[in-house]
Amino acid sequence: MRYSSQTIVGVSSGFAPNRAGGNALYKLVRTSRLYEQIVQQIEESIVKGALKPGDQLPAERELAQRFGVSRTAVREAVKALREKGLVEAYSGKGTFITDGTTHAVRQSLDLLVKIGQPEGSSHLAEVRAILEPEIAALAALRIQEPELVTMREAVAVMDRAGQDPEAYIEADLDFHLALAEGADNPLILSLLDSIVGLLREQRLRIFQVPGGPERGQIHHKRILEAVEQHDAERARDAMRAHLEQVREDSQAQTAKRQPGLKHS
């Protein structure tokens, strides 16, 4: 998944390289907050091409050692980089340099969903229903061990999540993204990556439906099993059933919140 580096260079244009020698401008940089200096250094690495889309950032502890700062400063820096859309954090996997295109696509879709609420989210659910069963079928044929490991871990995290919606929802996203990675088509991954994150709100609603997470897990395990056995047809059917369950649970919760509305 490589895109023109121009996208990312554009984000940082106007950033002054930190050369030795110093003048008034550099003094300003030195007095800026610690995390801002880390952000600048990482931005520079991206501009220079030392860090490319898809590259993983070292762990928090390692970055703190390299920069000689606290982990808090590193955490703040990573947060700022995320807000700029330069990196993306995947729970349990780490933080990766993004390509600006995915970020741009996501921002437009995000806006679309916000404008179109609640229809926007049902439109997105339709897109998922079109994409994800075929993704599951492809993944059944092409998936490699690392993606299977991620999927198994995600299922285990969801089993353990209990009443922690964030842990469940992030693992759910990981599960669906690992499957898309398993389909081994970078365009599919980019498309799903743009869409899946948007459904956080819907997932939060489902989490609050009694039995919703457990029902989801039954389907996740069926999908995983079919993919492990490289059974494309069963994987496709299992994903269809999962998305149908998600739709029903989501509607049940919406109806509960708006007692005047009856769903057929």
Residue list 190-209, contact with Zn ion (CB under 5 A):
none
Q: Which is nearer to Zn ion, 43 or 132 (CB)?
A: 132
Does 132 interact with Zn ion (rule: CB under 5 A)? Answer: no
Count CB neighbours of 148 within 10 A: 17
Give the x-and-dash track for 4-23 against Zn ion (CB under 5 A): --------------------
Q: Which is nearer to Zn ion, 8 or 223 (CB)?
A: 223
Q: Which is nearer to Zn ion, 170 or 172 (CB)?
A: 172
CA distance 179 to 89: 17
CA distance 227 to 236: 9
Closest distance to Zn ion from the beta carbon of 158 (Å): 8
Residue list 141-180, contact with Zn ion (CB under 5 A):
172
Q: Which residues contact 67 (CB under 8 A, 6 or more apart)?
A: 38, 41, 73, 74
Q: Which is nearer to Zn ion, 52 or 160 (CB)?
A: 160
Q: Which is nearer to Zn ion, 99 or 172 (CB)?
A: 172
Closest distance to Zn ion from the beta carbon of 169 (Å): 9
Q: Which two tokens stand for residue 9?
A: 């260079």
CA distance 97 to 105: 16
Half-sphere exposure of 102 (CA within 13 A, CB side): 27
The closest of 186, 174, 188, 187 to 146, measured between CA atoms, is: 174
Closest distance to Zn ion from the beta carbon of 110 (Å): 20
| Three-class SS state of 102 | helix
Q: Which is nearer to Zn ion, 38 or 179 (CB)?
A: 179
| Three-class SS state of 261 | coil
Closest residue to Zn ion using C-beta atoms: 172
Closest distance to Zn ion from the beta carbon of 176 (Å): 6
Give the x-and-dash track for 51-90 against Zn ion (CB under 5 A): ----------------------------------------
Number of chain positions touching Zn ion (CB under 5 A): 1
Q: Which two tokens stand for residue 99?
A: 């390509």
Q: Which is nearer to Zn ion, 106 or 219 (CB)?
A: 219
**CA 69 and chain centroid, separation:** 27
CA distance 183 to 111: 28
Closest distance to Zn ion from the beta carbon of 166 (Å): 15
Residue pair 239/230 in contact (Cβ under 8 Å)? The answer is no
Closest distance to Zn ion from the beta carbon of 190 (Å): 19
Contact residues for Zn ion, defined by CB under 5 A: 172
